Chains A and B, each alone.
Chain A
Amino acid sequence: MTVPLRSRPVAWPRRVLHAVLIALALVFLLLFLVMPLATVFVEAFRQGVAPYLDSIRQPEALSAIKLTLLVAVLAVPLNVLFGIAAAWAMTRFQFRGKALLGALIDLPFSVSPVVSGLVYVLLFGAQGWFGPWLDSHGIKIIFAVPALVLATIFVTLPFVARELIPLMQAQGSEEEEAARVLGASGWQMFFRVTLPNIRWALLYGVLLCNARAMGEFGAVSVVSGHIRGLTTTMPLEVEMRYNEYEYVGAFAVASLLALLALVTLAVKSLLEWRYGDEIAAHAPGGH
């Protein structure tokens, strides 16, 4: 005989309490998360669809979109290679200083974005360590695309590694050892055993890494020099237009970034729902 769990006289006031708590949480989420998101789209279309499309089709907006894509296309794959290498070393071998290596991988998450950009100015800027040498060889890093890529790599460095390490730790190395014993070469083992085992977690890490790479503001703002059409990524274009009181234009570009955020959230939820077991128990994703 089963007794219903909540079949006591207190059930009624408790249900009211539940309703009140749910209402409070939803009101907060609506005011605090949904309203800012809605603001972006409402402001972007405030003067209608035509001005919206016009402000996105302007050359500066198009070059900002292209630059943002370029930076992400360079930064994300490099961090994927690093993430796989770091996770392989950390989860498949024992060596001294492993904990220190783990802490170093996480370090960029605790550095202010402004400092993440500043360090490259101090390294490659006119007064930086390599500044004079770079200058005499005609190589531009600061206030040019290379610095944007470097600052973005710094800020998004932990995402892929952090996603892979707990998963590969949990999976263990038995399948890979079996592949080796059966005569697979190192690369055969990697492409036929390791990669299929980590593919969804890898995609999850790439997704978060990419969202941050395309949306990064503080770090790239410090190294960009804000040269319109040359070194302004989409978030910087948003800032410049906003500061010039060009609100529709600022929110139009912002709406594209907000759309990217929504797609990221949707794919992320889909991955968690469909492949939750094959993605490591995820810690909160940093900055």
Chain B
Amino acid sequence: MSKRVLPGFGISLGVALAYLGLIVLLPLAALAWKATGIGFEGLIRLLSAPRTLAALRLSVGGAVVAALINVVIGLLVGWVLVRYRFPGRRLFDALVDLPFALPTAVAGIALTTLYAPNGWLGQWLEPLGIKVAYTPLGVFVAMVFVGFPFVVRTLQPVLSSLELDVEEAAESLGAQRWQTFFRVILPMLAPTLLTGFALALARAVGEYGSVIFIAGNIPMHSEIAPLLIVQKLEQFDYAGAAALGVAMLSISFVLLVLVAFLQRWSHRWQERAT
């Protein structure tokens, strides 16, 4: 029906495909093509180099830890913002999106200043022997910052629609508050938390701007994978940069598949529960 009445199928799809082709597909094809330039042996040598492995481990491992931290904090903040009423709630709710809105370079220099040994937070952590700026810990902090909104924002609509009667039924059956939370509420939220986790993870893996200032970028220690790509480019090692780029894209792709899988699983889970 709509196909016959509504105009513009050819032109809209044509514009969309041409645009995607020129802006996304053609450049990605160039990336894949250039990456083959280093050959199979070169690829193995590049990916098994200790410095590459250390950088990938920090980018992926750091992102996993940061996303896990964000699940816990995001659950707390999302819960408090949806369930409780307190002065300034709307303001804090709007503020949750700050890491989306604040340019990464600004976040990067602000976090570095804050956690430097003489910074507002660094001066209290330094005597405790906790060094944040210019260490892998600083990388985690920046990754938690950029991934923070994802868990809260995926969680909020689900928390608002969570049926209160399930909780009340559990409580009227004699369940303690903590039992209700861990046995009833948390399992219901698990799929959403996993989705938020994957989104925060995908964001943090490729993160660059907010991380490089606070990381100190010491090779084998606090150097992230995207920075390694930048360095290869500066040394005119285009094939090496492209190969690392493909490696990072592959990691992102696996994470994207994971998100899709989790979303499908959560839908099926919810259908079975209701």
Chain A residues within CB distance 8 Å of chain B: 10, 14, 17-18, 21-22, 24-26, 28-29, 31-37, 39-40, 43, 78, 81-82, 84-86, 88-90, 92-95, 101, 103-105, 107-115, 118-123, 125, 127-129, 150, 153-154, 157, 173, 176-177, 180-181, 186, 189-190, 208, 211, 214-218, 221-222, 234-236, 238-239, 242, 247, 250-251, 254, 257-258, 261-262, 264-266, 268-269, 281-287
Contacts and interface: CB of A to CB of B under 8 A. Distances in A.
Given A32-B144, A114-B229, A251-B109, 20 more contacts: A10-B177, A21-B76, A32-B145, A33-B98, A36-B102, A39-B110, A81-B15, A85-B16, A93-B3, A112-B205, A112-B207, A112-B226, A112-B252, A122-B242, A127-B236, A176-B6, A215-B103, A265-B97, A269-B93, A284-B149
Interface stretch (B18-26, B46-54, B130-138, B183-191): B18-26
Given A22-B84, A85-B15, A268 B34 contact: no
Nearest to A43: B113
A33, A35, A129 pick with most chain B CB within 10 angstroms? A33
Contacts of B62: none
Given A154-B23, A177-B5, A37 B102 contact: yes
A29 to B, nearest CB: 5
Interface string B220-233: 00000111011001
B38 interface: no
B266 interface: no
A92 B105 contact: no
Interface of B: 1-3, 5-9, 11-13, 15-17, 19-20, 23-28, 30-31, 33-34, 73, 76-77, 79-81, 84, 86, 90, 92-107, 109-111, 113-114, 119-121, 144-145, 148-150, 153-154, 157, 177, 196, 199, 202-203, 205-209, 213, 225-227, 229-230, 233, 236, 238, 241-242, 245, 248-249, 252-253, 255-256
A196 to B, nearest CB: 17
Question: Which one of A93, A153, A268 has the highest number of Cβ atoms from chain B below 10 Å of its Cβ?
Answer: A93
Contacts of B208: 112-114, 217-218, 221
B27 A22 contact: no
A262 B101 CA distance: 8
Contact of B238 (A122, A208, A215): A122
A272 B252 CA distance: 31
Given A104-B24, A110-B255, A261 B103 contact: yes
